[in-house]
Amino acid sequence: MKKIFCMALCMGMALSVRAGLEDLVISEIRVTPTEGEFFEIHNKGATEIDLSNVYVTDATGDGNFYYNITTGSNYGGGSSADFHAKFPNGAIIGAGEYQSIAINGSNFFGEYGINPTYELNESDSTPNMLEAVAGSINNQGGLSNAGEFLVLYFWDGSSDLVQDLDYVVWGDQAEAVDKSGVTIGGSTYLNETPIISQDVIASGVHTFIQSWQRIDLNEGTEILNGGNGISGHDETSENLSSTFAEGTPNPAGGITPVVAQFVINEIDAVSNSNDFIELYGNANTSTDGYTLVLYDGFTDVSTNVISLNGMNTDTNGYLVINTTLEGGADAVALYVSDVTNFNVGDAITSTDIMDAIVYDSGQADDAELLALINPGQPQVNEDANGDAMNESLIRCTNGSGGQLNTNSFKAFTPSPGAENADCVTFGDYYATADDTNATTLRNTLHDIIDDHCTFNYSGPSTCGSNTEDTWSLLSKADEDPDVPGQVWMVYKNNNFTFQGGGQQAYNREHTWPQSYGFSSGALGDNNAARTDVHHLMMSEVGYNGDRGNLYFDNCDAQCNERSTDTHENPNTPQNDTIGGGSGVYPGNSNWFDGNSFEVWNFRKGDIARAMFYLDVRYSGDVAGEVDLQLTDNASLIQTGAPYMGLLSTLLEWHVSDPVDDIERNRNDFIFTKQLNRNPFIDHPEWVECIFVTGGTCGTVDNDLIFENGFE
């Protein structure tokens, strides 16, 4: 099969691709204002390129995909302001040349003082782009401010497949494309980066007076082998947020020198070994012209000036500078200015500053140093955990927070020259929890975990700075820790490569069935309970269908068996495996009958603690939310009613399958998105206090569960 495919791709396409096309990139995009919309291409090679049979489009979605041009239908363009264009036959771009294509050409000269190289469709003397197919430029312009993509590709006019030359996404991933496994004619596309894993230039529109410009002509850390792009690239894998930056528009005049962007990503000022400063930014990028300045909080003058001339970030974007740092209160500042402009003993300055961190190891805040960073940003304490000798200050997560912001820094395990850990800490998150008795604990926990950040069930959301949906969240929450990009199924214990939402071999399991209190209906598609990722879990479609809306209970050997696959156990460093249905009840299988569903042993506690969370989180105290209740009365569990169970069985499962790292890590990830936690993962002892009649509160005594007849 692979040999047949290679013949179709390699002989039918690659041999007809002209030399030099691998040097063609999209170098600039301006999406606002409308009259200034354009994109720019660049030939970074040493020879001219024939642009015949090179296409460009921003059209995708609603079943239309640009690669369908080989079939003559469903190729997009010509409506909804989308276009699908082809460069004129015989068009040439010279070595090192930049060419601009105006989306709305009528005012291009007035906007930039020059004419574009091409425009989509105007009646003046500027050459027009050709329609890729009849009618594909009927509705000219424009590029969307958010949720848009632009692809430059080659098709020789006869092959089954096309080859991407460059692929850019901005705003969100709503318009992104993944051709993995798509078969056209006798040829099949290779796997690409799943949509949810594709990077975007930025989550919002660029500044009104600026454009997005490529600052890395080598296309960052794009995977070079095994993709559908030119020369085997996977064009969908480029780290666009690092290879594009904002700058003053300069169509067809070359890239305006855009300042390479860096952040101070980590510092270690109190250590058992060597102090260091870590910068993070574009990969393989020179830091010529940048300077680090160290400031002393006692004197408020500079104590050291470090030139970054002659240095470069590594292939992952890191640059580590080993230098002696004082313990605080002090500051490190990064300037876009040459070392010759600074001297030891200079006063604090914000001129040409790019980033800074003000830090201490237990000292009071220094108001003068805090002027270096954005208003309201904190001075951060390397000794926050009482272990400054063994911890550094890191952005949590890697690169987060933004320049001149310090609120994402945490004292954590040092990682110089490597990705910062997802150092989720919840500190005093439970400080107001009152475990005096079941009522006080239930009520105080509810107040802590309710009103979380909610996401749309499907499609872009607005939740703080996040624009994800439940599909994208689950792609990470249920990602196999040993196989990135694959999602792990809760019931069958197998994996699938995550390909986004829609009709897949997997779907989203509501462990508390949505028909029991919160189906879309009057509450809406995006009601909080329906979209709460703490109880949504990825499931193989058939197994999810078997579970349906059955309540949870122990079954017996007369029930239907749904076996599990064997899977490596990520909780153990040895070659330990979990799963593998035995055919003997209960074994390592799921079991069900017409009333209930018994989850396999390894996931019983996960399910139980998700149920306990929902019972406490949703109490009907907010308009549009329901009062979800666990019960042992099976007659109450019916469509439209907010009951689920069986409580006694879930209590058994909670004890028989204790909390493990899989649950902890899942809880940590969801906390970074929804901003609330499942308290019964963090404090499993609280289950007894709330859900066991007469259960002990304030102390850990899980044995009491069995004393109440649940064994």
Q: What is the SS3 string spanning 47-60?
A: CCEECCCEEEECCC
Q: Are 507 and 542 in contact (CB under 8 A)?
A: no
Query: For the segment 645-703, what is each residue's pLDDT rounded down to a tens digit?
Result: 999 999 999 999 999 989 998 998 898 888 899 999 999 999 999 999 888 898 533 33
Query: For the segment 32-49, what is each residue's pLDDT rounded down to a tens digit?
Result: 888 889 999 999 888 899
Q: Are 59 and 77 in contact (CB under 8 A)?
A: yes
Q: Are 607 and 599 in contact (CB under 8 A)?
A: yes
Residue 427: predicted pLDDT: 67
Q: What single string gives the DSSP state of each residue in 617-675? A: H-BS-STT--B-EEES-GGG--TTS-EEE-HHHHHHHHHHS---HHHHHHHHHHHHHHS
Residue 46: predicted pLDDT: 85
In degrees and rounded to multiples of 5, residue 495 shows phi and psi of -120, 155
Residue 705: predicted pLDDT: 36
Q: Are 176 and 35 in contact (CB under 8 A)?
A: no
CA 87, 92, 96, 100 dihedral sign is negative
Query: For the segment 591-631, what is each residue's pLDDT rounded down to a tens digit?
Result: 999 999 999 999 999 999 999 999 999 999 988 899 999 99
Query: For the segment 161-185, what is each residue's pLDDT rounded down to a tens digit?
Result: 999 999 999 988 888 999 999 999 8
Residue 140: predicted pLDDT: 64
CA 162 to chain centre: 28
Residue 225: predicted pLDDT: 64
Instruction: Find the mean pLDDT for residues 286-294.
Output: 91
Q: What is the SS3 string spanning 484-515?
A: CCEEECCCCCCEEECCCCCCCCEEEEECCCCC
Q: Looking at the DSSP assignment, which residues form a beta bridge with residue 618?
A: none
Confidence of residue 196 (pLDDT cuts 50, 70, 90): confident
Q: What is the SS3 string spanning 297-312?
A: CCCCEEEEEEECCCCE
Question: CA of 364: how far to CAs of 267, 367, 680, in Å?
Answer: 19, 9, 37
Instruction: Find the mean pLDDT for residues 14-32.
Output: 77
Cα–Cα nearest to 159, from 24, 2, 51, 7: 7
Q: What single string gives the DSSP state of each residue in 320-378? A: EEE-----SSEEEEEESS-GGG--TTPBP--TTEEEEEEEESSPPP-HHHHTTS-TTPP
Domain positions in the chain are 2-247, 262-412, 452-678
**What's the token pair of residue 43?**
């030939």
Residue 591: predicted pLDDT: 96
Cβ-Cβ contacts under 8 Å for 599 (sequence gap 6 or more): 491, 552, 590, 607, 653
Residue 425: predicted pLDDT: 62
Residue 254: predicted pLDDT: 45
Residue 710: predicted pLDDT: 34
Distance CA 366, CA 360 (A): 9
Query: For the segment 505-555, what is each residue's pLDDT rounded down to a tens digit?
Result: 999 999 999 999 998 887 888 999 999 999 999 999 999 999 999 999 999
Classify 583 as helix, strand or coil: coil
**Amino acid in the structure at residue 166:** D
Residue 704: predicted pLDDT: 35
Report which of residues 393 and 61 the model is more confident about. 393
Report which of residues 484 and 392 the model is more confident about. 392
Classify 177 as helix, strand or coil: coil
Instruction: Find the mean pLDDT for residues 475-489.
Output: 88
Residue 223: predicted pLDDT: 63
Q: Are 214 and 499 in contact (CB under 8 A)?
A: no
Residue 669: predicted pLDDT: 86
Residue 141: predicted pLDDT: 62
Residue 259: predicted pLDDT: 62
For tokens 């009333």, the residue is 595
Confidence of residue 209 (pLDDT cuts 50, 70, 90): confident
Residue 7: predicted pLDDT: 30
Residue 422: predicted pLDDT: 61
CA 115 to chain centre: 39
Residue 125: predicted pLDDT: 79
Cβ-Cβ contacts under 8 Å for 689 (sequence gap 6 or more): 435, 437, 438, 441, 695, 696, 697, 698
Residue 549: predicted pLDDT: 96
Query: For the segment 228-282, what is each residue's pLDDT rounded down to a tens digit?
Result: 888 788 899 888 877 888 878 888 754 444 567 789 999 999 987 789 999 998 7
In degrees and rounded to multiples of 5, residue 243 shows phi and psi of -100, -5
Distance CA 228, CA 14 (A): 11
Q: Of all residues in the chain, what percent carry a pLDDT higher than 90?
A: 52
Q: Are 70 and 84 in contact (CB under 8 A)?
A: no
